[in-house]
Chains A and B, each alone.
Chain A
Amino acid sequence: MKRPFKKVLTLIVALTMVVSCFAACGKQPTATNAPSGAPTSPANPTKAPDDSTPAPTEPLKDTFGESPELAKLVADGKLPKVEDRIPVKDDLFVERNDATGKALEIGAYGGIINLGPAGGSWGLSRPTLESIIRYNTDGTYYPNVIKSFEYNNDYTVWTFHLREGMKWSDGEDFNADDITFWYYCVHLTNFDGKKSWTALHDGDEDFAVLKKVDNYTVTWTFKNPKYPADFIENGDFKWCWAPEHYLADMIPNAGSYPAVENEYYKANTITDEQALANAKAKNIDSGTVKDLGKAISYNSWNVAGIPQLNSFVLSTQEGNNNKDADLCIMERNKYFWKVDAKGNQLPYVEALHFHKTSADGQDLLMFRSGEIDIVEIGMQDIASTLADLGSAAYLRTFASTSWGSNQITFNYTTTDSNYAKLFANKDFRQAMSICVDRKQVSELLTDGFLEAYQCAPSEGNFGFDAEWGAKWTNYDVAEAKKLFEACGLKMGSDGFYTFADGTPLMLTFLTYDGTQDTSYPVFEQYFKAAGINCAMKNLEVGAFDTQIDNNDWIAVMGPHTSIGGLSLKSRVAPFVPIAQAAEWYGEYGTYYQTNGEQGVKPEGDMAKLVELYEQWNSTPDTAKRDEIALKIYEIHKENLWSIAYLEAAGTYAVVNSVIKNYADNLVSDDLYQYANIVHYEVLYKAQ
């Protein structure tokens, strides 16, 4: 009990320090890029590794290095000189450290990094996307695409400074016009298919007012205070730009949209069909304008030809130019705006190759053959892969931010009063938790690699609490049966409990896409042995979500949106019932999302969560916010609306030994955009 508490305390102290540093900076740019790549605040003391001291920073020389391929293009007159392709020297992003703070090696140019399938609409963005700010594994962050940002005392005016001389991947200037264009023509018109990010909301009805100050400065003005957590730190707010010179003729008239008629946006006369035809002329196929908008201004990395600021850009070569191609190529951005400590333009490698696979395990075979250089791997496959490859590959571990694994949860808002009453009883959850022999489960499912755990933050994460992690993890069937009976259940003649009124109790666990096919039978035997009759119903993920949305379910194993995560800062929905997202709060979330029109009004501790969240949301004070967040955690600890049985499994990657600069001990989380934290632009291939 004592140790974790101390840890939390240190954490709070540290964070308070960070905040005071912020506050002290006041109107000055709160974050600049000198020295770029270094965290804006001292490393979080709970996680500070010994080797994280940054190398002494050398000033940049006036000459810059570039890859031999690009140098050749320059020599042939097909490409401007490297100095003209990157921002001016003072505005350059110099990448010196990896996300854990460890100094990077100076790499060599050339080669290709081969990866597995690109995956979904975000797949290509993970290794390549450059967002407004970027995080280190300790949760600190620094400006990335923008040079710096600042805000006034009452948090109503935010200023972004851009990098002078920075270019789009097609060589056009990147400046303030691309930001106003994005905001007024793409985002507020809803062309990108996103109903305006909350980061840009101003109160309930209004939106931020964006103004161009000069070519490299913009301001966002709000009527109400806009705190960092809801703006710059908001996980959705990853970008605020679009290439006007390329997209303008593909955006049809948005109809009447009074909020946006201003000096930056005038209604145009492009019809939907014209927009589609103009897109077609640029080799962009689209069925509807809505699809077109989302494709070219939201997941735009998936569309060949659209200029980007990212480290790698989708190739335009026929056959390799879409994420579903058998080989999808992301080429080096020739105008990329980052350099290494020696002034060499990044990225080091020429391209990323994504190889489509059609069945599980093919990526592992291709990794063995050397056709793929980096592959994400399940725990059970690590030993055989490393045994086959020996020193030709190494393992990288990503810490997990999940709250335990093998979660189950119940429908607290079910319309069946018998079940609703039962689930509302904490004793029932405790009984469901202790009737399972976690040690055996771990042996059966993971060979004993994962320890018994509860649905709680794991060690090293914000809010870690050993007592919480151990809560209800003892294995005691007799006690569980006692608790079941205390909940009013009656043992039936078939060895299974029934409700007090004699109706049979049947826990049908909904699962999706067969993810629980292996583990379900293991849990089933324990539940049945304790007298709980249960069944599994596996659905295709879409059907699963539909059934959850329709409130047509009793229990879930392996929820789609599980409780927990890095912190509220990363994403609120998994912690608090404010959206139609997670299973554990079911219709309570719908209630909040629809402003009380639909769903079930939260009560008791559920309601308290929302209350605390609203407090959390209305203060800029980081220490206070963490305090509130811990209160929210405390409620979760008390209630355990979801039960987990084992500790969270990390994610693992095996990497071909020729790849260098791949950081270790990273963290896999949505806030860090998963693989994005690897920083693919600094990976290089040893000769």
Chain B
Amino acid sequence: MAKKMKSKEDYYLASQWTLMFRKLRKHKLAQVSLLILAILYIGAIFADFLAPYGLEEFNGTYRNCDPTAIHSKYEGENVGLHVYALKKTIDKKTFQVTLSEDTSEYYPVKFFVHGTEYKILGLFKCDLHLFGLGEGSKGGTDARIMLFGADSLGRDIFSRVLLGARISLSMPFASAIISFFLGIAIGSISGYFGGAVDMVIQRIIEVIGAVPQIPLWMALSAAIPPGISTIKMYFFMTLILSFINWTGMARIVRGKFLSLKNEDYVMAARLSGVSTWKIIWKHMVPGFMSYLIVSMTLGIPGSIVGETSMSYLGLGIKSPATSWGVLLQEASTVTDVALHPHKLIPIIFVTITVLAYNFLGDGLRDAADPYK
């Protein structure tokens, strides 16, 4: 009984965030989603280490090869996990390409092998990879281990999915945060001051929101100077995404401001001479912060899918950088669907991420609902 009382007391005294977190625990799917997202983001951070190969490791023989088969028995003997090298034969009449395993030699699968050099978190040089292949039983070096097969330039799709996740997972997130702050700043100015300021901002929001996205994307990405570094390109694309997305957030903030600004506690603050900015940041924004975070979370999956569409139109991230959208764009031919369905594996990652964000967003929404 006392315990129950205590928990009730806890409930009334708990901060808004604690309450939200508590309610979030009811939404099982949201929790699972959070876990999945955590795994994906950690995977992206340590992508260099987890991926056996780099972004641009070509291999002519392995072009479009299926996921590598992993064997354990070699000539009837158990020699541990191993793979074989592939050899290619082509038929110049029918244009048929056949890849077959060369079983004359096996290559053991090993953990913590040395391979392509990279920088951990962009700081320390390192060439250790979680897994890879050792030297062949006869000293060969031709084999590759490609868990998801290879793309049309013989690059490892597994590695590319991991390395591409960095852009695909962070860009929408970063742009959501930028839009978040832009939206709060502009929306609050609009809502708090009202009048002419509000009028002008409202018109701008209306106009940007009204013009269809594809022309905006095309115009903005045409403005990106060509031949720039990956980091700059990333920066530009993020800005474009934010530019297109901030208006929604600003509109929500403005609406909330309009309904809050006549609330008694805001009036009280104003009357007691608190500065305008302090009122906005200390008294008003926290009042609907949870609501904003929910809409921010729900905006991310849209951006992820949007990124893939833009890549499909050739407006997204460009080689040598890669993203999931680029990977899917490369696999979107009839021949790939017919002959190399393994190239569609990145869809699974996009789908899982988008679903996870959606469920997390729903969970947060339910949790932030004050009526519950």
Contacts and interface: CB of A to CB of B under 8 A. Distances in A.
| In-complex A–B contact (CB below 8 Å) | yes
Interface of A: 360-361, 364-365, 379-388, 440, 442-445, 447-449, 508, 514, 517-518, 520-522, 524-525, 535-539
Given A444-B63, A521-B320, A537 B334 contact: no
Contacts of B332: 361
Interface string B61-100: 1010000000000000000000000001010101111000
A537 B226 contact: yes
Contacts of A525: 56, 58
B196 interface: no
B92 A384 contact: no
A-side interface mostly: helix
B333 interface: yes
B226 A365 contact: no
A517 B319 contact: yes
15 contacts: A360-B333, A361-B335, A364-B335, A381-B333, A382-B94, A383-B95, A385-B335, A387-B339, A443-B60, A443-B63, A447-B88, A447-B97, A448-B60, A522-B58, A535-B227
A385 B96 CA distance: 11
A537 B227 contact: yes
A148 B212 CA distance: 59
Contacts of B240: none
B-side interface mostly: loop
Interface in B225-242: 226-227
Contact of B61 (A386, A443, A524): A443
Given A444-B153, A518-B152, A525-B56, A538 B226 contact: yes
A444 B58 contact: yes
B39 to A, nearest CB: 30
A447 B90 contact: yes
Contacts of A360: 333
Contacts of A383: 94-97, 339
Contacts of A387: 96, 338-339
A155 to B, nearest CB: 46
A412 B226 CA distance: 23
A381 B334 contact: yes
B96 A361 contact: no
A538 B58 CA distance: 22
Contacts of B88: 443, 447-448
B179 to A, nearest CB: 29
A250 B88 CA distance: 63
B248 interface: no
Contacts of A442: 60
Contact of B333 (A361, A517, A521, A524): A361
Given A382-B94, A443-B61, A518-B153, 17 more contacts: A383-B96, A384-B339, A387-B96, A443-B63, A444-B60, A445-B153, A448-B90, A517-B318, A518-B152, A520-B319, A521-B56, A521-B58, A521-B153, A521-B319, A521-B320, A538-B226, A539-B226
A383 B152 CA distance: 15
Contacts of A380: 95, 152, 335
A524 B58 CA distance: 12
A267 to B, nearest CB: 47
A449 B95 contact: yes
A536 B335 CA distance: 27
Contacts of A382: 94-95
A90 B146 CA distance: 70
B302 interface: no
Contacts of B320: 521, 524
A364 B97 contact: no
B314 interface: yes
Contacts of B153: 444-445, 518, 521-522
Nearest to B339: A384
A447 B154 CA distance: 10
Contacts of B94: 382-383, 386
